[in-house]
Amino acid sequence: MTRKDFKIISNWVKADSKVLDLGCGDGSLLKILNEERNVTGYGVDLSVDKIIKSLDNNINVVHTDINNRLDYFTDKSFDYVILAQSLQVVDNPINLINEMLRIGNEVIISFPNMGYWKSRLYLFLRGKMPVTNELPFSWHSTPNIHLCTINDFREMCELNQFTIVDEVISSNRNESVPTKFLSNLLGESAIFKIK
């Protein structure tokens, strides 16, 4: 996850709110949100190494599996539930988003866009699954089992009646990609806020 994503999420999150960060990694997002927005909350991660790093960032962190153990958290007990750059690794994205909507008032999800022109070009020219800096794994050893494009994501939201309330599509060069029409081609990474 990039600092740019942090900035966008930090801009979306209201001061003094309560945040649950799923797949929190080393806890730096929560740390920044705490410093910039005075948020409280918890990170969740499955890796004990990440728990250790999160504790070093002095955030609250719970060691559990976001795929099936979100029973720790009661209905509508958080202002925001965030899933940053982890949608592609979860077992069942729709189940998870439903769980996130159960727990939080708003859900923020960021993910890498497989519709980005470089990914398309990679597949088109080489005839192989794209291996990039952001997704550096071969098809057989990747944890990224549910990669999607921005159009795929929008379609899933529509089918499941998830309401998109805000979005930022960005590429490495530009802060954001303005043209909605071309976002699936020019956007490298997407952040959606849904309800």
Partner 1 sequence: MDTVIEQKLKVTEPLHLKCGNVLKTYELAYETYGQLNTKKDNAVLICHALSGNHHVAGFHEGDNKPGWWDNMIGSGKPINTDKLFVVCMNNLGGCHGTTGPVSINKETGSEFGFDFPIVTVQDWVRTQKVLMDALEISKWQFVIGGSLGGMQAFQWTLDYPEYVSNSIIIAAAPKLTAQNIAFNEVARQAIMGDPDWCNGNYLKSKKIPKRGLALARMLGHITYLSDKSMAKKFGRDLKEKKFNFNFDVEFQIESYLRYQGEKFVDSFDANTYLLMTKALDYYDPFNEVDFEKKIATSKSKYLLLSFTSDWRFPPSRSEDIVKTLINHNKNVSYACINSDGGHDAFLMKNDNYFEVMRNFIENNIDD
Site residues (vs partner 1, CB under 8 A) = 18, 40, 42, 48-49, 51-52, 54-56, 58, 60-64, 71-74, 77
What's the min distance (Å) between Cβ of 130 and partner 1?
A: 34
Q: What is the CA radius of gyration of the chain?
A: 16
* CB of 34 or CB of 110, closer to partner 1: 34
CA-nearest of 12, 15, 66 to 39 is 15
What's the min distance (Å) between Cβ of 110 and partner 1?
A: 24
58-95 as b/e: b if 16+ CB within 10 A: ebbbbebebeeebeebeeeebbbbbbbbbbbbbeebee
- Side chain identity at 115, as an amino acid letter? G
* CB of 64 or CB of 151, closer to partner 1: 64
- Side chain identity at 34, as an amino acid letter? N
* CB of 60 or CB of 151, closer to partner 1: 60
What's the min distance (Å) between Cβ of 83 and partner 1?
A: 18
What's the min distance (Å) between Cβ of 77 and partner 1?
A: 7
* CB of 61 or CB of 107, closer to partner 1: 61
